[in-house]
Amino acid sequence: MRNNSNRLFKRLMVLFAGIIGVFGLSSCTKTFTTVQDQANQLFAYYGNLYSESVDLEEDTTGYSNTTLQNTNREALFTSLSESKGYSSVDKKFLSYMNARVEDEAAETYELWTNGALATENEETAKQIAKHVAIYAGLDDENVKVTSLFANLDSWYKLAVTGEDYLANDGTIYEAPGVLYSPSAGYIATLKSSLTTKVNSLRAGYSPESRNFTHGGSTVYIEGKTWGQAFAEYGFLEGLFVYPFGWIVHQISTVDLTNGWWQILAIIVVTVLARSLTVVSTYIQTKTQAKQQRIQPLLNQLQKKYPNSQTDPDQRRAMAMEQSQLMKKNKVHPLLPMLFMILQFPLFICVWAALQDSAALASGNWLGLSLTTVVSTCFTSFATTSGALTGIFIFIFMTVANVLASATSLFFNTWRTKNFGTVATQMGPDGKPVDPNKSMKWMTIIMSVFIVFMGWNLPAGMGIYWLLGSLISIFQTLIMELIQTRNRHKFAENTGDGSTLAAVRRSKHHSSTKAEADKKAAKKNKSDKPMWR
């Protein structure tokens, strides 16, 4: 029993290594959100960082949801002052920083109209320039948007050191100095909070530069090219993420206000992604069929080496003969596992494409934004729009995943039972060993893993997993039908007794006396299996 426990432990360790690999791959898949996109997204969520915490003046440009932005900004400042223990920011500092923002935007907006950074109309360009001035900065030498908070860091130093600012309109803004400026710790905590927020927003993929509606505010996302995906983001991003994202964008933007187009986009991507895994499933099914065919010979080897579990010499000899037998019959037991591992990058790329899609983040489906994290629907039910939809998505996803795993496990158990492999695989205690025991544990662990991931992912990914599980069930049934047909054909051609017993139990074969006599005659001509 101890050897069996060790084997199970090793297999579980391999599974956990695979899960860790999934997380590793996910961290390697870069977001398409640029620094400029992040500045636009932060403005859409918080508005002007240097405005007073409550400013109900309506914005007519379309880039502000003033009430929402003021609420979010005030909540941010309250968190910093109450939870972190920092004092409120003085109005003198806010006025000093806001004056610099206005002048910076006025001096640089033409970069977004003359083709240096974009070719947009004047109104759009001024808004982008303002967002960049507040939350990022410009590299004048290379004419590009530089890192987040570049202006904040630079202007904060000037504010603290006491350098007054002469605005373009002639107004002199006295430097607040150390007395009226927030502490360095406050600035560091503020940047950390903003970074955490913008990393959760993502939604920066679009093949064209245009406005999207995120969270009730207009967000400008700059377009990315396919070549840029390969050159600046990575091989997987160019090979899979960009094409999948392009499909989602083209379908969703037919009508961004109608969430059913976004659902259609997810369905199309799911079907395409699953179709790429058909080869893997077919090879896995074919390998299992070959293993079943040579099982009688493997059983003979176990009888030939009855002490292989405890005797190292017998174990090595049996392993060598098993390897030769599998090589002769072209059975590659690790090939299905290899293809399963190759599916991980594909899964991560679909995940990234759905999570990064700016079009998918626009609008809602049945009141729910598809970028809403599922757990939020449970923990913040009262304040989350469409929370009930998100809850049902999670429930249906969980049920479909369990059914998909149970269907696959059921057919594996059925094949084991009907082809007599259990009785011939004996443990050191002389009792039969269930070859599906480790698979059952892996199935349970993977189900728990997927449910856990679904809890912490956007609702759009929950729909992807729901559809994927339904396709997996259908795919398992189709593959089993193909396998059954192949077994029937194999038995009729060879008359092999072990397979014929299952064929006789099949509903697809007649049990008339004439056919039974014909099969019995065919068996008598070949009493021995074809492999002897």
**Residues 379-427 pLDDT 10s:** 888 888 889 999 999 999 999 988 888 887 787 777 666 654 433 444 4
- Which DSSP string do the residues of 437-465 spell out, in sequence order? HHHHHHHHHHHHHHHHHHHTSBHHHHHHH
Backbone angles phi, psi at 365, to 5 degrees: -125, 120
Average pLDDT in the chain = 79
Closest Cα to residue 176, out of 192, 190, 189, 157?
Answer: 157
| Mean pLDDT on 25-36 | 74
| Mean pLDDT on 476-501 | 66
Q: How far is CA 309 from CA 314, 322, 429, in A?
A: 8, 15, 10
Of all residues in the chain, the percent with pLDDT exceeding 70 is: 73
pLDDT band, very low/low/confident/very high, at 217 (cuts 50, 70, 90): confident
Flag the least confident range among 119-128, 417-426, 464-473, 496-505: 496-505
Beta strand ranges found along 153-238 (DSSP E): 165-166, 172-173, 210-214, 217-221
pLDDT band, very low/low/confident/very high, at 338 (cuts 50, 70, 90): low
Token pair 């630079």 is found at 154
pLDDT at position 530, please?
Answer: 33
As a dihedral over the C-alpha atoms of residue 435, residue 441, residue 446, residue 447, rounded to 10 degrees, the angle is 110
Flag the least confident range among 11-20, 75-84, 267-276: 11-20
The winner for highest mean pLDDT among 62-66, 427-431, 438-442 is 62-66
Is pLDDT above 80 for 211?
Answer: yes
Dig out the tokens for 223 from the structure: 């377009």
Sign of the torsion formed by the C-alpha atoms of 504, 507, 508 and 509? positive
Query: Which amino acid is present at 369?
Result: S
Phi-psi region of 177 (alpha: psi -120 to 50; beta: other; left: phi over 0): left
Cβ-contact 193, 236 below 8 angstroms? no
Cβ-contact 295, 419 below 8 angstroms? yes
| Mean pLDDT on 505-514 | 46
The 3-state DSSP class for residue 3 equals helix
| Mean pLDDT on 318-324 | 81
| Mean pLDDT on 202-221 | 88
Query: Which amino acid is present at 13?
Result: M
Flag the least confident range among 86-95, 294-303, 401-410, 424-433: 424-433
pLDDT band, very low/low/confident/very high, at 531 (cuts 50, 70, 90): very low
Is pLDDT above 90 for 449?
Answer: no
Flag the least confident range among 220-234, 260-274, 337-351, 504-518: 504-518
State pTM to two decimals: 0.73
pLDDT band, very low/low/confident/very high, at 27 (cuts 50, 70, 90): very low
pLDDT at position 235, please?
Answer: 87
**Residues 105-128 pLDDT 10s:** 999 999 999 999 999 999 999 999
pLDDT band, very low/low/confident/very high, at 159 (cuts 50, 70, 90): very high
CB crowding 88-105: b at 16 or more within 10 Å, else e: ebeebbbbbbbbbbbbbb
pLDDT at position 392, please?
Answer: 94
Closest Cα to residue 248, out of 205, 198, 200, 215?
Answer: 205
Of all residues in the chain, the percent with pLDDT exceeding 90 is: 35
Is pLDDT above 60 for 500?
Answer: no
Closest Cα to residue 508, out of 475, 490, 481, 479?
Answer: 481
Is pLDDT above 60 for 431?
Answer: no
Inter-axis angle of helices 387-418 and 437-455, nearest 10: 170
Dig out the tokens for 424 from the structure: 């011939």
Is pLDDT above 80 for 247?
Answer: yes
Q: How far is CA 171 from CA 102, 175, 187, in A?
A: 12, 13, 26
